[in-house]
Amino acid sequence: MGKVWVKVHHSPTGETVVAACDEELLGKKIKLESGATVEVSRSFYGGVLVERSELDKYLNQATIVNLLGDQVVSYAISRGMAVEKAVMRVGGVLHVQLFL
């Protein structure tokens, strides 16, 4: 697994949202089956670029996790944080949202 972008958001309701995506996805536009596109925005995902070994420290503080990318989602499944049936594909890219 390559590096991942991780950004921590703190909501007004007290939630800690951790958004992470595969390195190569940041700034890309993902085309949906409907023809619409979704931008993998720097403002949501583009916090810090970390090695996989550093990802757990961010995920462990989250109350909500948003993961986008085949590698980062597969990592969460391998760590027991996500189950495959909760994962969806967004324009062919794995995506999962977790409420912890």
What does the domain layout of the chain look like in residue ranges?
4-99
pLDDT digits (tens, 9 = 90+) for 50-93: 998 799 999 999 999 999 999 999 999 999 999 999 999 999 99
The CATH number given to 4-99 is: 3.30.1860.10
- Residue 15 CB: number of other CB atoms within 10 A? 13
- At position 43, the amino acid (one-letter code) is S
* 3-state secondary structure labels for all residues of 43-89: HHHCCEEECHHHHHHHHCCCCEEEEECHHHHHHHHHCCCCCHHHCEE
Q: What is the pTM for the complete model shown? A: 0.94
